[in-house]
Amino acid sequence: MSIITNRHDVLFLFDVVNGNPNGDPDAGNLPRIDPSSNRGLVSDVCLKRKIRNYVLETNGDKDGYDIFVRSGAVLNRIIKEEEDKIKQTKKETKSDSKKDKHEFCDSVAFETVKALSTRFYDIRTFGAVVSTGEKDSCLTGSPHGQIRGPVQFSFAQSQHPVVPLEISVTRCAVTKEEDIDKERTFGNKHIIPYALYLAKIYISPIFAGRQETKSKRTDFTGFSDEDLNVFFEALQNMFMIDQSAARPEMNVRGIFDFEHVGTQNDKNAEQNKREARLGCYHAHKLFDGIKIDLNEGAKKKGKTYPESFLDYNIQCIWENEPLPPGVKLHLRHEGKTIPANDKK
């Protein structure tokens, strides 16, 4: 499998209808809200959890697609098992030299991280902190224990302020024996009637795989083109296996994937490769080309807040204007691609 070589900057749109997309445990599981703007929030951790769940459900039986951060996992135990395997394959130095011991431990830490990245899809994708073990672990205090993954999410934020509702519900059964004489029990749930959220995703080949040099071992996750395809499949479909009473309806509304391919074509292969790896244009300027606002029909009805996705108008100016050189746009929610503009 080939390591990814092109940078991707992704604008991700999704909505919620009469649900709680991400409860805040510090606020009684109310939907997360930015108090300065009253806009809804969904954490990056929440979105990555859904990616992990989808990959585990659809690819978990394949080698290399196990999930590290999952329900019931004891992370330090997993890390120790992998580290012990590496130590068994290496002959530990008997020298009292601090330098020799450091080199041995550094080698074990590097190989352990590589083994964990090979085994677990979410480590290859999002990275992980694996320096949390015992003091005698080679990973404890090692720079290799901080794995930065190539795929990073921002918080998602709603495009308009939201007003969460507290809904009271009743149940005809009781929980405790002593409450048998009661006709019903009461509860409540919190929902957002409607909101459209926007998140930004950055995929950097720099953290997918870097060459080992004579002077320094560098991080290696091994995030491949196949892993990238699995990621976009999960992003497109993750809400389809995540329905619950708290969030019965969440939908993907847009995946605008700006892929950096380089401006040089065949003129300068090395420079083209470097541009594709680092990026050919600023992400925020690419994202500014996606315009989101209430449509004219909603405005004529006097609406200031959306009631459904039909109240929005989403315009991609890159469908009518040339993209910056070296960048092509995949409209993954529509299954089409706008090719790169070769003119500088």
Domain edges within the chain:
8-62+153-215+223-338
Mean pLDDT of 30-50: 97
In the structure encoding, which two tokens stand for residue 87, read together?
């130590």
Distance of CA 125 to the CA centre of its chain: 8
Mean pLDDT of 81-109: 79
Nearest Cα residue to 116 out of 142, 94, 135, 136: 142
Name the average pLDDT for the chain. 90
Torsion of CA 42, 295, 234, 209, to 10 degrees: -80
216-241 per-position pLDDT tens digit: 555 578 999 999 999 999 999 999 99
Question: What pLDDT, on a 0 to 100 scale, did the predictor assign at position 261?
Answer: 95
More confident of the two residues 256 and 95 = 256
pLDDT of 86 > 70? The answer is yes
More confident of the two residues 287 and 216 = 287
pLDDT of 214 > 50? The answer is no
In the structure encoding, which two tokens stand for residue 290, read together?
């996606």
Range with the lowest mean pLDDT among 81-85, 92-96, 127-131?
A: 92-96
Question: What pLDDT, on a 0 to 100 scale, did the predictor assign at position 177?
Answer: 79
pLDDT of 48 > 50? The answer is yes
Question: What pLDDT, on a 0 to 100 scale, did the predictor assign at position 45?
Answer: 97
Mean pLDDT of 231-252: 96
The alpha-helical segments, DSSP class H, found in 169-241 are: 225-237
Task: Please report, in angstroms and rounded to a whole number, the separation of the first and last CA atoms in the chain.
Answer: 33
User: Do residues 175 and 52 make contact, with C-beta atoms less than 8 angstroms apart?
Assistant: no
Give the pLDDT band (50/70/90) at residue 49. very high
Compute φ and ψ for 266, nearest 5 degrees.
-95, 5
- Mean pLDDT comparison of 78-87, 105-114, 258-267, 313-322, highest-scoring range: 313-322
Mean pLDDT of 183-189: 80
Range with the lowest mean pLDDT among 19-33, 262-276, 326-340?
A: 262-276
**Predicted TM-score (pTM) of this structure:** 0.91
In the structure encoding, which two tokens stand for residue 144, read together?
């290799």
pLDDT of 139 > 80? The answer is yes
Q: In percent, how much of the chain has pLDDT > 90?
A: 71
pLDDT of 192 > 90? The answer is yes
pLDDT of 213 > 50? The answer is no
pLDDT of 59 > 50? The answer is yes
More confident of the two residues 198 and 174 = 198
pLDDT of 54 > 80? The answer is yes
List, in sequence order, every beta strand (DSSP E) within 149-260.
Answer: 151-153, 156-161, 165-171, 185-203, 249-260
